[in-house]
A and B are shown apart, each in its own frame.
Chain A
Amino acid sequence: MADLNQLTIAEARDKLRAGEVTSAELTEACLQAVEGAGALNAFVHNTPEIAREQAKAADARIAKGDAPAMCGIPLGIKDLFCTKHVPSQAASKILDGFKPEYESTVTQNLFDAGAVMLGKLNMDEFAMGSSNETSVYGNAVNPWRRGNDDTPLTPGGSSGGSAAAVAADLCLAATGTDTGGSIRQPAAFVGITGIKPTYGRCSRWGIVAFASSLDQAGPMTKDVRDAAIMLEAMCGHDPKDSTSADIPVPDFEAMLTGDIKGKKIGVPKEYRMEGMPAEIEKLWADGTEMLKAAGAEIVDISLPHTKYALPAYYVIAPAEASSNLARYDGVRYGHRAKLAQGDGITEMYEKTRAEGFGHEVQRRVMVGTYVLSAGFYDAYYNRARKVRTLIKRDFEDVFAQGIDAILTPATPSAAFGLGEMSEADPVAMYLNDVFTVTVNLAGLPGISVPAGLDKQGLPLGLQLIGRPWEEGDLLNCAYALEQASGFVAKPGKWW
């Protein structure tokens, strides 16, 4: 039998219900795996006492029967989620020492369902990054390597710790958040599944805000079934988030039939980027063939404004970030700079924010400040919002033509080496999100599914994009793709 920490959520649930295993045993196996995986730097605040207590409570609940699917399942939680009395600092120095007095709605939903928290997971500072290299905790490391080459690779970002932890079996699954691709890109880089639901599915309450009109939470799991189970537990209407949708949450798992006969899958020509590696091109073609073989109809489609998604994103996201991050002023929580004799409140703000924010966060806050400043608001911010309208319209048009889901690559490359992009200009790093960012701008659900390995032995992912609120249908398409690709590779343990 596989070690307990290697189980999927569905396997663990069935064993828990059958009385073959206890949550306490699952939790100990994961805690031990976490203990031995310091080299991955995935977990940054461990909470073994909370985990053991929650596991005990879960076992009691399971013994009584009628426990929900997530009951007793050990999870890792991205540091962006506020967790009551547990450090929650968005991987930033400016939130050093912050212990929230409240629980985020998503983690509360998971705990209400009986889930167990092993600890908090590494990420890019304030979720700004695509490689987990902007974290105050240092880099998280991808459990995958290029064959026998021991160059440390990025697990992607911003949910890099979540990706590394799930791929390395340190936990059964993890929470992530996605503003421009931060669930789907890391999931693709480590060979796991990650879904960003429709904007409004998950409450954003208690999740440290980056760009409020784009941020969504979602699960990062070992397979599609687990994504369905965990997503259902995470989402739902929340009066504390006025953008959370007051619509019923379906039984996503029950919708996984694998039957996609007659579904129309769109393949957008604009995603065929110049200079795209041949392996990505082939993976995409293979995925298209798999869906076709499963009975889907493949349709060539056009999303004409795709090219403008990244530049629009790099106006809108920094603009919202500059507003959201204005709250870090050294007054109410976190870090405050030591002041010199005679320093007033302005010096306190300026020194605190210079010391507390890392380089990438400072850059984005200032870019955001610039595009919102008098004289530039129309030229940059309003223009970007108009382009966003056009990007969304592109998707509405193809859905109106009867397209059920859209297939694209998840990332333009496999995982790259840590530090390899440090000399490049910031825009080169931003290109990592070229296939994912359109989905956030249009508020749509998107899922990344591992679909193959490149010639260096690294995982590659495909992305499926669905209609708004139809995560169930999307998960079913992803399930069919998963079954057809038969991806089961795991990283060899070196840590």
Chain B
Amino acid sequence: MSIDKDTAAKVAKLARIKVEEDQLEALAGEFNAVLGFIEQLNEVDVEGVEPMVSVTPMRLKRREDVVTDGGMQDKILANAPDAREGFFAVPKVVE
């Protein structure tokens, strides 16, 4: 399967990465190189094989459903590029 310019643009959009129009051709080429490499997986007989979920068989631990942490608004906001009045600030989302 070969990725064209339009597919590359769609993937960039899904990944929320701005790619300039004149870069799309090159990007599609890189995708194709990587995907061409991945295509080898089609040679493998995977009939009846379960996809791996956890590499070390273990049961995830459970804990009481209680609050263990919190009350640190200042720390949460300390690294924000734009924080105001105790909130993260972003461009207008709703018209």
Q: Do A and B bind each other?
A: yes
- Nearest CB to that of A431 among chain B residues? B37
Q: How far is the CA of A199 from the CA of B58 in the complex (A)?
A: 11
Please determine whether B40 and A307 come into contact, CB atoms closer than 8 angstroms.
yes
What 1/0 flags go to B47-74 for Cβ under 8 Å of A?
0011111111010110100000000100
Residues of chain B lying within 8 A (CB to CB) of residue A308 = 40-41, 43-44
B4 touches A (CB below 8 Å): no
B84 touches A (CB below 8 Å): no
Residues of chain B lying within 8 A (CB to CB) of residue A365 = 15, 17
Residues of chain A lying within 8 A (CB to CB) of residue B81 = 330-331, 333-336
CB distance from A212 to the nearest CB of B (A): 11
A314 touches B (CB below 8 Å): yes
Q: In residues 10-41 of chain B, which contact A (Cβ within 8 Å)?
A: 11-12, 14-19, 27, 30-31, 33-35, 37-41
Q: How far is the CA of A345 from the CA of B94 in the complex (A)?
A: 10
Main secondary structure of the interface of A (DSSP, over half): helix
Please determine whether B55 and A213 come into contact, CB atoms closer than 8 angstroms.
yes
B86 touches A (CB below 8 Å): no
A311 touches B (CB below 8 Å): yes
Residues of chain B lying within 8 A (CB to CB) of residue A98 = 79
Residues of chain B lying within 8 A (CB to CB) of residue A343 = 91
For B, the interface residue count at a CB cutoff of 8 angstroms equals 50
A277 touches B (CB below 8 Å): no
Residues of chain A lying within 8 A (CB to CB) of residue B51 = 382, 385-386, 388-389
Indicate whether A362 sits within 8 Å of B78 (C-beta atoms), given known contacts A315-B38, A369-B11. no
Residues of chain B lying within 8 A (CB to CB) of residue A387 = 41, 44, 46
Indicate which residue in A305, A351, A392 contacts B52 across the interface (CB closer than 8 Å). Answer: A392
CB distance from A88 to the nearest CB of B (A): 10
A122 touches B (CB below 8 Å): no
Indicate which residue in A311, A331, A426 contacts B40 across the interface (CB closer than 8 Å). Answer: A311
B82 touches A (CB below 8 Å): yes
Residues of chain A lying within 8 A (CB to CB) of residue B37 = 310-311, 314, 427, 430
CB distance from B49 to the nearest CB of A (A): 4
Indicate whether A363 sits within 8 Å of B34 (C-beta atoms), given known contacts A350-B16, A443-B55. yes
Q: How far is the CA of A383 from the CA of B44 in the complex (A)?
A: 9
A453 touches B (CB below 8 Å): no
Please determine whether B11 and A242 come into contact, CB atoms closer than 8 angstroms.
no
Indicate which residue in B50, B56, B78 contacts A198 across the interface (CB closer than 8 Å). Answer: B56
Residues of chain A lying within 8 A (CB to CB) of residue B90 = 331, 345, 348
A239 touches B (CB below 8 Å): yes
- From B15, B33, B39, B88, residue with most partner A Cβ within 10 Å: B15
Indicate which residue in B12, B33, B56 contacts A366 across the interface (CB closer than 8 Å). Answer: B12
CB distance from A98 to the nearest CB of B (A): 5
Please determine whether B88 and A331 come into contact, CB atoms closer than 8 angstroms.
yes
Please determine whether A353 and B55 come into contact, CB atoms closer than 8 angstroms.
no
Please determine whether A354 and B18 come into contact, CB atoms closer than 8 angstroms.
yes
CB distance from B25 to the nearest CB of A (A): 14
Please determine whether B44 and A344 come into contact, CB atoms closer than 8 angstroms.
no
What 1/0 flags go to A95-109 for Cβ under 8 Å of B?
001111100000000
What 1/0 flags go to A304-348 for Cβ under 8 Å of B?
010110111011000000100010011111111001000111111
Please determine whether B63 and A349 come into contact, CB atoms closer than 8 angstroms.
no
Residues of chain B lying within 8 A (CB to CB) of residue A347 = 18, 91
Indicate whether A369 sits within 8 Å of B15 (C-beta atoms), given known contacts A332-B80, A348-B90, A427-B34. yes
Indicate whether A353 sits within 8 Å of B16 (C-beta atoms), given known contacts A246-B61, A308-B41, A390-B44. yes
Residues of chain B lying within 8 A (CB to CB) of residue A239 = 61, 63
Q: How far is the CA of A280 from the CA of B95 in the complex (A)?
A: 63
Q: How far is the CA of A310 from the CA of B37 in the complex (A)?
A: 9
Indicate which residue in A101, A199, A332, A370 contacts B56 across the interface (CB closer than 8 Å). Answer: A199
Indicate which residue in A350, A369, A380, A427 contacts B33 across the interface (CB closer than 8 Å). Answer: A427
Query: Knowing that A311-B39, A384-B38 are A-B contacts, what are 14 other residue pairs whose CB atoms are under 8 Å apart, sorted by A's residue number?
Result: A101-B76, A101-B78, A243-B58, A311-B40, A314-B37, A322-B15, A331-B80, A332-B88, A334-B81, A339-B91, A357-B17, A369-B14, A369-B15, A386-B44
Instruction: Please give me the 6 A-B residue pairs with the lowest Cβ-Cβ distance, nearest first.
Output: A443-B55, A385-B51, A333-B79, A336-B81, A350-B18, A386-B46
Query: Using a CB–CB distance below 8 Å, which chain A residues touch chain B?
Result: 97-101, 198-200, 213, 239, 242-243, 245-246, 305, 307-308, 310-312, 314-315, 322, 326, 329-336, 339, 343-351, 353-354, 357, 362-363, 365-367, 369-371, 373, 380, 382-390, 392, 425-427, 430, 441-443, 468
**25 interchain pairs (CB within 8 A)?**
A199-B55, A242-B60, A242-B61, A243-B54, A245-B56, A308-B44, A311-B40, A314-B37, A326-B16, A333-B79, A335-B81, A350-B16, A354-B19, A362-B17, A365-B17, A366-B12, A366-B31, A386-B51, A386-B52, A388-B51, A389-B50, A390-B49, A392-B55, A425-B30, A427-B33
